[in-house]
Amino acid sequence: MARVVNKTDFRVIESVHTPGTDYENGDWLINPDIPSIYDNEGNFVDYEPKRYWKVSGDNIVLKSAAKRAEADAQHLLESKEYKKAVLKEELGEAVSSKYSHNEKLSLLLILQLAVASGNTARVNYLAQLAAWIDQGQEILYAQQDNVDAATNIEEVDSIELDLDSWLAADPQVVIRTAKGIE
């Protein structure tokens, strides 16, 4: 049995039965040394993060300290962008849990017609929903700013979007009610 590592994406496959035949195309290292982390007693804990790896001959070695710092900075940046996208999606799902896409479009159209016709009572009713959605956006922006300010992955991972009180404050705007306001 052998261990093989892809030279491009550093995919590690353990216990390969036929490394010489299936992995000979030059894209694979067969039984390479891999930078590993050991505990104080010398027991294997895990491999070093793959973002630190580079191919050197027939083995995997650690990049220089400067290159590892660059890799960490890039990893942090990518983690922040991913986290901000996840938070944005959470807010979108929260709004959609209360108002379907078609309801939002209908209410927007009703609002536009109310503004155009000068129906301030209808505008005021629908403005509750707009203000509520805006409050949700502000919660999102505050957490995205916290993500941007985070200095490590653990901080990024700990940031969450707490929408419970915001969801409870839903004005429950209804199309039928909005259309009935003259």
pLDDT tens for each residue of 47-82 = 899 999 999 998 999 999 999 999 999 999 999 999
pTM equals 0.81
Query: To the nearest whole number, what is the mean pLDDT of the chain?
Result: 94
- What average pLDDT score do residues 78-101 get? 98
Do the Cβ atoms of 92 and 101 come closer than 8 Å?
A: no
Alpha-carbon distance 84 to 101, whole Å? 22
Q: Does residue 28 surpass a pLDDT of 80?
A: yes
